[in-house]
Amino acid sequence: MKKIFFAYFFICAAIAYGAITTQTWTMYVSGAAFWGGIGRDWNGTVYAGLGNHLTNDNANSVVYRYNNSTNDWTQVMDVKVVSQAAGNWLALDRPGKIHSTIKQGLDGKLYFSTHSAFDTDNDLANYPSLFRGGHFYCYDPISGQGRDLSDPNVGAGHCGLTDLAVATQYNLVYGIGYPYGYMYKQDIRNGDSTFLWATQSQVGQVSRVVLEDNYGRFLCPNVTKRFLIYDPVTDSVTFDRFRHNYGTTITAAVKSWTGDSIYYIMSEGGDDRIFRYIVSRDTAQFVAYVDSGNTSSFKASLALRWDQNKLYIALGNRLVSINALTGARITEATNLPNPSYGWYGCNGIDRNGDLFFSAAGNRTVMKVSLAQPCAICTQKPKYLDSAYVDSVDNAWRTSTVAESAEKSLSGILTATPNPFNPDVTIVVAGAFRETFPHIMIFDITGRFVADLTSQVYQGRVSWNASGMPSGIYIIKAWAGKQALTKAITLIK
């Protein structure tokens, strides 16, 4: 697609709080508004999608790309143009919003979904008859081409899509529909859309954010404070495979470097809390409270700097960081621009480690410059590495993180001493050793720390943790789709 440069209004403000500065742009799109629509690719390029909020024949949405070198934005995709070119546009299509996060798949393409603006007109009762359903789209950053993934004349079953989950290893995307909480999966090869389940949501009370894990499973909260989980391997929906008894909607979510940890904000009556879902354990852990500065019970902002183990949230005029390990909170800045409905946006981190958020209900996007370079923000995270997901992560299906060695795979994994400081010797014994296993170290958040594979000799390797903080680390030894794991503790 030909790149279209657009006019924008530019505001730059320095925050008198450390070295942090902010910069905002107001997109020159008549009547447009952000309702999320932030994402990134693995090169650290940030994307922003917004709609014109119309409910007539002119309803439309567009996607922009941030250019680090020129510090401006380029329009890269027009939803209506793409759908019309595919012959998949009807008179009553109303894609006036992009509610979803923009997510990258293992194939490198960026995925998002559209949502109607009918709810702003209190037209919920007319949804089934007037609106054929939101569409799934993708954008290829290599070719610059956009694609309408929805089957012609079908869409997503007469509902707007508030968010999507991406499982390109199974050629699937998933969506949660507004206003009735219908869950769909869609085959990205042929556009076939399949109804999966319905949450027990009241009309309009639908989670604005859903999750996917590295297995390609789709996780969606239900109003009964349980999760609905669709597994493409078994083609089945199950309930609450990990215990969770708080909140009815997810307002924001981000993944760790490996994808084994998913951090998300749950909302219940405005009392928001951050949880960490540990995929390999099928458990959820409380991390921290989100205070009342979050002005919306529908969506929130959240970003994770993998290199710092820090979660960042824009709360009104404050930038707050939360330690992903301890839950400790720091107010990093107190003079952010403060939009009426707060800041939205997940995973908006560019190649420099700067944060991007969108202003709910208006055309403003903000960059928060932390002045803290990020060495890994231009590296492909493990959860977007198809080789890792295929050969490593899926091994979690038969092994889990444990305090003791896993012996079910005809091998023994030991680490001595444990606890240690700063050296630990790792040994793989038994038949498993003969397969020449890979050995890696991860921290407790699932972030990659060290690859020791090239140093392994006769099943033995040492790791020096000098420079690493005290805490629990995970050793993972694997070969093919078999894996051994062990927790070790560094005490300084």
The pLDDT tens digits for 221-265 are: 876 667 888 999 888 888 765 555 566 789 999 999 989 899 999
Which residue is it, tokens 């024949």?
57
* Antiparallel, parallel or unpaired: β 301-305 and 343-346: parallel
Domain edges within the chain: 21-400, 411-490
How far, in Å, CA of 37 to CA of 114, rounded?
Answer: 10
How far, in Å, CA of 284 to CA of 333, rounded?
Answer: 30
Residue 396: the pLDDT is 44
Residue 320: the pLDDT is 96
Q: Closest by alpha carbon to 395, among 276, 340, 294, 477?
A: 477
How far, in Å, CA of 114 to CA of 99, rounded?
Answer: 7
338-378 tens-digit pLDDT: 988 889 999 999 999 999 999 988 899 999 999 999 999 99
Q: Closest by alpha carbon to 46, among 312, 311, 355?
A: 355
Which residue is it, tokens 């919920």?
124
Q: How far is CA 461 from CA 205, 351, 469, 473, 475, in A?
A: 53, 33, 21, 16, 11
Given a cut of 70, the residues of the chain with pLDDT beneath it are: 1-18, 30-31, 92, 117-132, 153-158, 200-204, 223-225, 240-247, 269-270, 292-297, 391-411, 430-436, 445, 479-482
Residue 234: the pLDDT is 86
* Residue 340 CB-half CA count within 13 A: 6
How far, in Å, CA of 490 to CA of 492, rounded?
Answer: 7
Average pLDDT, the chain: 82
Report the amino acid identity of residue 93: D
Positive or negative, the CA dihedral 116, 117, 121, 124 is: positive
Token reading at 34: 């952000």
Architecture of domain 411-490: Sandwich (2.60)
Residue 34: the pLDDT is 85
Query: Which residues touch 418 (CB under 8 Å, ≥6 apart)?
Result: 424, 488, 489
How would you class 347 by CB atoms within 10 Å of its CB: exposed for 0-12, middle for 13-18, buried for 19 or more?
A: buried
- C-beta of residue 392 within 8 angstroms of C-beta of residue 371: no
How far, in Å, CA of 34 to CA of 40, rounded?
Answer: 16
CA 30 to chain centre: 29
Tell the CATH topology of 21-400: Methylamine Dehydrogenase; Chain H (2.130.10)
Query: CB 422: neighbour CB atoms within 10 A?
Result: 12
Strand pairing partners for 51?
33, 61
Residue 17: the pLDDT is 43
